[in-house]
């Protein structure tokens, strides 16, 4: 069982985004000290939901501050990046970290990012498979070339070259099918529960995917009692999620999907390891047993306070992780 932290670099009300980024690095350092296996960093643009616009850049800083813990991106948005440029960054981080880096990529959504970065809706809606193929080719050999609809260039050397397989965030049937067809591992979000995660993995296997090293995200917060832990997050998450989710602005005239924040908070706090140490241990083991996923990354920033997040990481590392790994049940 591998257990990591999932860091969104969330901006809660009244916080200075320039302070959040160095605080996020400190959380990676705290996670290493607490015994977590890895730390995965999210990428967002133009919103308070998360204020890290380059997960690879923040991962590079974290690599320089740590010695053991793995670093990953959850995710780098492939639809707004040139896949070869992203592959070059991943190769650098692979070598600079001594092999501790994992590249997670996602399709993204129909957001204003596509307009600002000039890639457009076509890259999102029709070009993701081609983008992914160029990326995997660039991470599979010493040279890369392309002759497709969205990318066409002569053969060039990859310097430095690295042999990496990206992990793909899967939130739609099309992306699950693509990950299965390319036999790439999946990253499953905290917006779905264990039964839905298990169904996604079943669909992946039905489409021919054979990888079993999938990664699943979950919200995690430990307190002396489950009621206390839920109360902490019910008091803080809505103030982050309400303006944060509103930051997803469509690039065209389509309506933005709405999710009632109160219901979402209830779902998150009752579905994931939010509670006493005993409850968190049982919840993580249940997720692993139900889904078959043996690699969880825990979103630990739910209180919106840096010192409390550090304490959350320390308590999870001392009171939860060792018991999960020693249980013999996963």
pLDDT in tens, 266-284: 999 999 999 999 999 999 9
Q: How far apart are CA 221 and CA 262, in angstroms?
A: 18
Q: Is 129 a domain residue?
A: no
For helices 261-271 and 237-246, what crossing angle results, to 10°?
A: 120
Q: How far apart are CA 44 and CA 234, in angstroms?
A: 24
Q: Is 33 a domain residue?
A: yes
How many domains would you assign to the chain? 1
Q: Is 109 a domain residue?
A: no
Rounded average pLDDT over 60-83? 98
Domain range for 297 is 2-65+95-104+164-326
Q: Please tell me the total number of residues recorded for the chain in this structure.
A: 330
pLDDT in tens, 282-293: 999 999 999 999
- Report the DSSP beta bridge partners of residue 219: 299
Q: Is 71 a domain residue?
A: no
Q: Is 269 a domain residue?
A: yes
Residue 184 belongs to domain with CATH number: 3.20.20.30
pLDDT in tens, 204-262: 999 999 999 999 999 999 999 999 999 999 999 999 999 999 999 999 989 988 889 99
Total H helices, total E strands in the chain:
14, 14
Question: Is 90 exceeded by the pLDDT of residue 330?
Answer: no
Q: Which two tokens stand for residue 224?
A: 């002396």
Q: How far apart are CA 48 and CA 249, in angstroms?
A: 12
């Amino acid at each position: 069982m591998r257990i990591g932290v999932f860091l969104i670099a969330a901006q809660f009300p009244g916080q200075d985004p320039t302070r959040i980024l160095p605080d996020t690095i400190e959380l990676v350092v705290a996670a290493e000290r607490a015994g977590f296996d890895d730390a995965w960093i999210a990428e967002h643009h133009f919103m308070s939901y998360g204020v890290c616009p380059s997960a690879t850049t923040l991962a590079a800083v974290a690599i320089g501050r740590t010695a053991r813990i793995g670093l990953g991106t959850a995710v780098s948005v492939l639809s707004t990046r040139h896949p070869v440029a992203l592959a070059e960054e991943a190769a650098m981080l692979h070598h600079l970290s001594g092999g501790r880096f994992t590249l997670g990529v996602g399709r993204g959504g129909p957001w204003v990012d596509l307009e600002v970065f000039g890639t457009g809706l076509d890259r999102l809606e029709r070009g993701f498979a081609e983008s992914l193929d160029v990326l995997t080719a660039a991470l599979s050999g010493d040279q890369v070339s392309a002759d497709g609809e969205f990318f066409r260039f002569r053969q060039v050397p990859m310097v430095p070259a690295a042999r990496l397989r990206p992990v793909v965030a899967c939130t739609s049937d099309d992306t699950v099918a693509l990950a299965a067809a390319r036999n790439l591992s999946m990253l499953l979000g905290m917006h779905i529960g264990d039964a839905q995660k298990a169904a996604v993995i079943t669909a992946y296997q039905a489409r021919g995917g054979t990888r079993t090293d999938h990664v699943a995200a979950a919200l995690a917060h430990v307190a002396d009692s489950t009621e206390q832990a839920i109360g902490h997050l019910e008091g803080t998450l809505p103030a982050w999620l309400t303006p944060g989710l509103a930051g997803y602005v469509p690039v065209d005239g389509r309506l933005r999907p709405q999710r009632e924040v109160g219901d979402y908070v209830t779902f998150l706090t009752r579905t994931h390891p939010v509670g006493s140490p005993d409850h968190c241990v049982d919840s993580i083991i249940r997720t692993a047993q139900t889904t078959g996923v043996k690699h969880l990354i825990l979103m630990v920033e739910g209180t919106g306070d840096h010192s409390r997040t550090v304490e959350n990481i320390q308590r999870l590392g001392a009171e939860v992780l060792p018991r999960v790994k020693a249980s013999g049940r996963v």
